[in-house]
Homo-oligomer: A and B are copies of this chain.
Amino acid sequence: MKILIINGPNLNLLGTREKSIYGNINFTEYLNNLKSQYQQIEFDYFQSNIEGELINKLQEAGFSFDGIVINAGAYTHTSVAIADTVKAISTPVVEVHISNIFSREEFRHVSFISPNAKGTIIGFGLHGYNLAIESFLLD
């Protein structure tokens, strides 16, 4: 089973900023934990701050991987283009948000991606990625 995890803008700063909110684990460490935990899964990981590069990666993996986990960060709320890609590819995509986007600014309550996703997981911190992977194992 091949799973791609894609992180959008500013998620490369995890663990180095606003630690009271996001904790002090950076995503690389966390990913290593995930890999140990799910050794039967082959992981690929991609992070970019550029909207179109997220699209490129989704297109590249989206016809051969078994699952994609995406946290599109701020592009969640503004990118029709990423949402279109999620719809166009054949690999199912699970959407994850670390924080509870519904208790933040109103413009974060809307996700263009959600209607096209297999499912959405919101507010569980980094555990959200675990749950997303579990969701693929449950099928």
**A residues near B, CB below 8 A?**
8-10, 12-13, 17-18, 48-53, 55-56, 59, 73-75, 77-81, 83-85, 88-89, 100, 102-103, 107-112, 114-124, 127-128, 130-131, 134-135, 138-139
Contacts and interface: CB of A to CB of B under 8 A. Distances in A.
Contacts of A100: 114-115, 117, 119-120
A85 B84 CA distance: 23
Oligomer: number of copies: 12
Contacts of A131: 121, 131, 134-135, 138
B117 A119 contact: no
B83 A74 contact: yes
B10 A81 contact: yes
Contact of A84 (B74, B116, B118, B120): B74
Nearest to A8: B81
Main secondary structure of the interface of A (DSSP, over half): helix
Given A49-B56, A100-B117, A138-B127, A78 B75 contact: no
Contact of A121 (B52, B102, B119): B119
